[in-house]
Structure 1
Amino acid sequence: MAFKKIRVGLLGLLGLFLFPQMLYAADRTPFVPHTLYFSAQNALCIASVNQVQIIENYYDEGPLAAGLNITPYLENGANTIAVDVASLTALKGDPAFPADFECRIVIKAALPEGDAEVIQLVATVAEVDGELQPTGVQSPHYQGSASAGAVHEFEKEGTILYHIEREVTLSGLPEWAWTKAAVFEDTPENMEKLRQAYEELWQLMDHQDMAGIQEKARISFEEKEAANHLAPGMWADSLGFDAKFEQSTGAVPIRWDDFELQTAMGGRLVRLDNRGFSPLRLKNQEGKGFWGYNPWFSLIDGELVISR
């Protein structure tokens, strides 16, 4: 059966097939790249790593297949891998699950001797009281193993989603800047710092100052380039700012009340979000927002910096 590839962008998918089996951080410390392989059949699936959404499909019946280098979102020690699922028809008011429903996440480590499977999460359906319901019971080592925790699953209250997750213990990863960040507390002082960070980026986008954006996002861009074996400047180029600037007349004014605080990595990554939309959006000739930049910030040495 033929599989469609989901578009994941940002050179992430391309990087899977180009990097060697041992990469080096900025300080030349070798590390092990990790890849998330995603497949879906007749299912709505949202995969996340340490609370950061990595890839999803909302409407395509499939079968679908994709892969993404997730190394920048992992740390040494415990990491949480999760998938939120629903029927493809749930968004139209029909929550019934088809019999061939499946979503699968496989994470592999690129070791010198070859790829090694690290962990799997599998969502299928089983009959409960005469109806098909989602379950993670088909995940290998459901009760846990030496490196993988037991699978936990539950309905997400107030949503159409069913959540399946487990922890995995990893090593051989870089000490990314975000791993050393302070936990962001939702205080008036910190929220003012976050709004100021957005204001500074908004000004740079409004003035189409790509050099300024690259400097603000230097930590994020350099670490992602290291993780994907890319030359300096390639991550910034992959975002397509220059092409979007050509279509833009400036940045959309930020309406702070439209956005809520979103956290990940135990509060070490933060941003403002409105159902996937960023406060940082460019507007077209008609004054309508058409493209956005949605970075994550970390609180490092008392300052909020773009770390992802």
Structure 2
Amino acid sequence: MSLAAFSSNEPQKIRSLFNIQQAYCAIKTNDVTGFDNRKSAWKGRGGGISSTNTLMLVENGENEISLEIGALGWFSDKSLSPEERGHFDPQSACSLELVRFNGQEKQMLSSIKVTISPQGLPEALPDNTRSITRTKVLAEQATPGHIDPDYFDKTYFPQGMELYRFTQKVTVSGIPEWAWVKAEPFTGSSEQLQKLRTAYSEMARIINSRDRNRLKAYDKTALEAWSATTGDSEDEILLSQFTKDDLEGGKAILLPIKWEDYDIRVMNKGRMVRMYNKSKPTYSPLTYKYTDKNGEEFMGYYAPVFSLIDGKFIPVI
């Protein structure tokens, strides 16, 4: 289905609905994180209930959804053993439902519900229709020295943190073929790396130029996908991502990029990539500092997802 035909039909959405209790949990679709409650977990609460737009992350055919759950003890600033950090509260839980909304109709596409077993380990409730795999993985790590020390906290990305990843396959049909579907997979070659850096540098120049029309043209593919999956106009979406204060007002003047401070996150069978800061993996090369009306300094960032299409990296999300 073409994007134009899809947009003109009855509004259709695919969303990931999640409910997190007393745990860290990340919700992913085809390796792309749609949501995690890291901030809540870091503060010791570990809650979260909402939904995210998943339609633009799936393709016709087989896809993969997953949730990664970890114990809150990993975020503690106390001197604890790895065993103590990895201990789950018996009430810890995380659930993920992939739901298709077509007008007034609602269809459950996939579901993963994880609770804590009597043995103290996360386990998925049985699903009679789809298999769920569980693997133990090392959480994304952060190393100091690649960001202003005032913005580095070693407990935010805990060293050695272990996660339990639960994965399920799901088949989707009747949606548009997004631009990233036919993207050239990222191999890590020096040529591809240079092209990716060029894409970030170009976007940084456009943001710093304060020219909204240039930014809209550069971000066209991503804006079209956002518009088709939300029903909002491209201008509305761009304004939500880049406010007038940030862009035209000049609040978001990006910092010079030091490439040695960044690594690459490869997702969705290599068809999506995002560069991230080695000390603060939520941040990207498109990072800026600003001072609020009270004189307090903050750091912000933009973190688009790029795909290699027709020999050039472009933002697709």
Both structures adopt the same fold (TM-score exceeding 0.5): yes
Deviations 1:203-250 (A, max 9, x none): 112222222221111000111111111123111011133222436272
Structure 1 residue aligned with 2:16: 36
Matches of 1:199 and 1:305, distance apart in 2 = 12
Describe the SS at the equivalent of 1:233.
helix
Taking structure 1 as the reference length, the TM-score comes to 0.83
User: 1:231-283: per-residue Cα shift (whole Å, max 9, x none)?
Assistant: 23111011133222436272101110111111111011112112111100122
1:42-121 to 2 correspondences below 5 Å:
42-58=22-38, 59=40, 61=45, 64-92=48-76, 93=80, 94-111=85-102, 114-121=105-112
What are the residue-to-residue correspondences of 1:1-308 with 2, within 5 Å?
26-29=3-6, 30=9, 32-58=12-38, 59=40, 61=45, 64-92=48-76, 93=80, 94-111=85-102, 114-128=105-119, 132-136=120-124, 138-141=125-128, 145=129, 148=130, 150-157=131-138, 158-245=160-247, 246=249, 248=251, 250-274=253-277, 275-284=281-290, 290-308=299-317
CA distance in 2, matches of 1:108, 1:49: 13
For 1:296 and 1:113, the matched residues in 2 are separated by 31
Distance in 2 of aligned mates of 1:181 and 1:287: 42
Cα distance, 1:62 vs. partner?
Answer: 6.2
Partner of 2:141: none
Distance 1:300 1:165, change over 3 A: same
Asked whether the equivalents of residues 226 and 234 of structure 2 are also in contact (C-alpha less than 8 Å), the reply is: no
Change in CA separation of 1:273 and 1:133 when aligned onto 2, cut-off 3 Å: same
User: CA RMSD for the aligned pairs?
Assistant: 2.2
Q: Is the 8 A contact 1:40 1:103 kept in 2?
A: yes
Q: Pick which of 243-252 and 48-57 moved more.
A: 243-252
Check 1:287–1:250 CA distance in 2 against 1; reply closer, same or farther (3 A cut). Answer: farther
Give unmatched runs, 5+ long, in structure 1: 1-23
Deviates more, 1:67-76 or 1:157-166: 157-166
- The alignment-based identity, stated in percent, is 24
| Count of matched residue pairs | 275
Distance in 1 separating the partners of 2:2 and 2:301: 29
Q: In 2 relative to 1, CA 249–34 (structure 1 residues): closer, same or farther, beyond 3 Å? A: closer
TM-score, normalised on structure 2? Answer: 0.81
Read off the aligned partner of 1:76 and give its amino acid letter: N
2:177 counterpart SS class: coil
Does the Cα contact within 8 Å between 2:37 and 2:47 map onto a contact in 1? no
